[in-house]
Chains A and B, each alone.
Chain A
């Protein structure tokens, strides 16, 4: 409750939180002294290279490494049989092997690993490894997977090459459609794209004859890498230490345990020497785990005033060769449709296909930018059909704050209305919408995103984040936390929050993070969970330290303990602030009286309201909200779309570091713009399935010349669950950008591009169709029939449900252990 009170106090009560602060690691970064994984080296270090499959789908008949092993300078060669234990990020899809055991499932799938005295020798050795493949028919995309259940890429999954099938129904949607004035259906497609962090993945392993393994790696999830290493290498977790080096960009692309991490560890164990690998840029494209290409169908019934009566949403995801986070990604394509506008009845059917391409996984927004694109374009069309301004449409029927949705998500603070008003006023929407000259247009879209997932990947009752605090008699404070700095500023969040509570300066705080030997577990830098979860854990640890120190300072200050206040590196009596001692002196009093001053804090999200199978994906301690207006120029002669300016308003609850919030929002707009206009994972040929563009030159991403101007409005609607009210800001602002751009293209030239990226060819084709009197649109034309399981039926809260399934939800899927662990 103390936290909720703090959230309501307002920014004037805070001394550090909410200011625009320099990050604690900024100086090291501008000096170039921050050590990234590839900057590390150890004496006697060997270099690793991986041999990768040239076939998209092939049985491995034979591997002969004799000639490679004979090459001078080669110290070891590993193949699949050396690492036979499977792994994977989710317990339900332990379907990866560090090196392909019997089958290669995409071009680039690792098959063998070499350790040698130099990268040159290791590379030369790869050519000497003879692999005999028996090619199998590749499955090229999600539609191919639906049509061809055989050959199966994996021997598990819900149906043929369909990895996962989900069918959830919250209320009678058919009755809802029958009650509607207008029912509209739309088909949309979101192409896959990748994270493209500037830092290529790298890892360095060291093995001690004591039987201890240390791995430094460019990973967002040292905790899960720790688990995977212990499992595959059959080591006691206590003998494995994973240190996540500062990530040079990640965006979700460094969230899985990877082959290269396991291979260098095993090679270090075999050779007794440190082994390093740095992936080439081409290999980074093969690691992928990026945005799932997603085909979507949406049907919504609305009343004349825009009130939604029912929604039915279907998605089909192209998952690539392995499970990765895919089961969760699939659920996410159906989870957050209900948290912006009130949807009284909702049905979701989602499917994920295995295909012979690099695996898809979590990219910034994880599974939600695709449906948000579909929904916001769909809403734009509905508003037009109803003759309602799209901004007015979106201001109506908003989900009320502190309420439950049809699918049992508990919404807390909800600042979307304020976000919409900000961008409408700032952009001059009312003067621009449907009023700009042909070729220029504006579009609007909204969105919401989770601030951390309510459930951990491995179900357990333990905290999602832990913090230890050490207060030194010299006045120094060290905060230890497993959270991982990926550029988002998580180390600074820890320092700022501890400084706020203890009345210190953030630069007084030493931060030790992301080291499984030194720091308590934090699950990792994904799902926008770190500020909220480590923040709450840090508040708890710091408040415990503050209370302990206050108790022992009070007698010295001759003041009641309730009046003891911490500010300006002093500890004093609030009633007479001149009566005080230094923070260091106060720590000394506590240490003398009670021994070494150390505290811990932790955070576990409250249980979700939904108790049905599948209810594990979607619940979050808090939801952020965004609204966006995009201004576009479309050249009708070429179809080229340019975006001069975007207005974004984001409800962050409360800024912890205002400057970092601005950076996260602007960076999200940038990445959303790339997805809207140009970024795509494209593959060559029909049956070849070779990555068309595994290079930074060919994979188009916005440079300074394509990036738009951004006007940012930070809306602060504090959430009781957030530290000081804070919600996420690192992913949510990406979501409204692609639909806002698509809607603006329609305003500009009157064609609907129901597919991203919105490339010149697509716009041009749609304009040609318009000229010929055909449907002025580019987008998918159908959604295949899928072997859906019987729906799990759950009554929405307003129909008297209790969050449990009325029927369905029993049977085969063990999957839910991961995603809905906390069912009762």
Chain B
């Protein structure tokens, strides 16, 4: 018979939220099934691919491995919390401009992991970006456009007037 539902309160994308759910559910399931936030994806539900990454108190976590109950009173950020109103976050803008989202399925997780990176380190080098994103699998892009998008967004977040390079968009001569 159905479990009695647990009810918790936490901060979701900057707003307080209360939600009741079966207590065995993961944060991934609570977000997608009980809060209808389907922007958070899943690729294995075993903590192997990084596709379900969200930010918990600002740090990337695999939402398929976090119990919903563990989020009481905490801050959760999903892809739905990145844009400011109808204005894309600089990371979203850069991912769209460079084609860093191909199928788009792993994109929310990469955006959030990169968001956490740039919060900690506004000027990451290419190797630091690779390290930070090494837990997220992408099968479409070969990661290169993702690195370039993170670098572009980082520059813009630092207030620089940065544009994609010709080489990045059209290749080498």
Contact = CB atoms under 8 A, between A and B. Distances in A.
B96 to A, nearest CB: 4
Contacts of A281: 43-46, 48-49
A575 B32 CA distance: 58
A703 B48 CA distance: 12
A197 interface: yes
A267 to B, nearest CB: 20
A30 B44 contact: no
Given A32-B79, A197-B139, A249 B105 contact: yes
B144 interface: yes
A198 B172 contact: no
Given A200-B42, A704-B143, A32 B108 contact: yes
A216 to B, nearest CB: 14
A483 to B, nearest CB: 15
Interface string B76-104: 00111011000010011101111101111
B119 interface: no
Contact of A22 (B97, B105, B147): B97
A583 interface: no
A701 interface: yes
B121 interface: no
A31 B88 CA distance: 8
A587 B80 CA distance: 39
Contacts of A669: 142
A426 interface: yes
Contacts of B105: 36, 197-199, 248-249, 487
**In the complex, which range does the number of interface residues on chain A fall in?**
35 or more
Nearest to B101: A29
Given A30-B92, A667-B140, A486 B46 contact: no
B26 interface: no
Interface in B88-147: 88, 91-93, 95-99, 101-108, 111, 129-131, 133-145, 147
Contact of A32 (B39, B46, B133): B39
A198 B137 contact: yes
A33 B86 CA distance: 13
A280 B79 contact: no
A581 to B, nearest CB: 32
Interface string A708-737: 001111100000000000000000000000
B63 interface: no
B38 A22 contact: no
A32 B138 contact: no
A20 B145 CA distance: 13
A663 B170 contact: no
Nearest to A655: B170
Contact of B49 (A198, A488, A668, A713): A198
B96 A248 contact: no
Contacts of B143: 670, 704, 707
Nearest to B107: A29
B169 interface: yes
Which residue among B39, B103, B173 has the maximum number of chain A CB atoms within 10 Å of its CB?
Answer: B103
B43 A703 contact: no
Contacts of A31: 39, 79-80, 82-83, 88, 92
A697 B39 contact: no
A714 B166 CA distance: 12
A714 B170 contact: yes
A248 B98 CA distance: 18
A249 B103 CA distance: 6
A249 B105 CA distance: 7
Nearest to A652: B171
A281 B170 CA distance: 36
A670 B82 CA distance: 28
Interface string A25-47: 11111111111101100000000
B171 A27 contact: no
A703 B42 CA distance: 17
A487 B102 contact: yes
Given A31-B83, A659-B98, A20 B170 contact: yes
A668 B142 CA distance: 8
Interface in B14-47: 32, 38-46
Contacts of A39: 32, 38
Contact of B101 (A30, A658, A666, A707): A30
Given A20-B170, A249-B140, A666-B142, A30 B103 contact: no
A319 B137 CA distance: 28
A182 B173 CA distance: 38
A663 B149 CA distance: 12
B46 A246 contact: no
A486 B143 CA distance: 17
A666 B145 contact: yes
Nearest to B144: A666
A665 B91 CA distance: 23
B95 A30 contact: yes
Contacts of B171: 658, 662, 665, 712-714
A200 B142 CA distance: 19
B44 A29 contact: no
A666 B141 contact: yes
Nearest to B38: A39
A794 B164 CA distance: 52
B51 A426 contact: no
A705 interface: yes
B142 A710 contact: yes
Closest 7 A/B residue pairs (Cβ): A32-B39, A487-B103, A29-B104, A248-B105, A670-B142, A20-B169, A32-B79
19 contacts: A23-B99, A27-B88, A30-B101, A30-B104, A31-B80, A31-B88, A32-B108, A34-B104, A36-B41, A196-B139, A197-B103, A198-B51, A199-B103, A251-B139, A666-B142, A670-B139, A670-B141, A710-B142, A712-B172
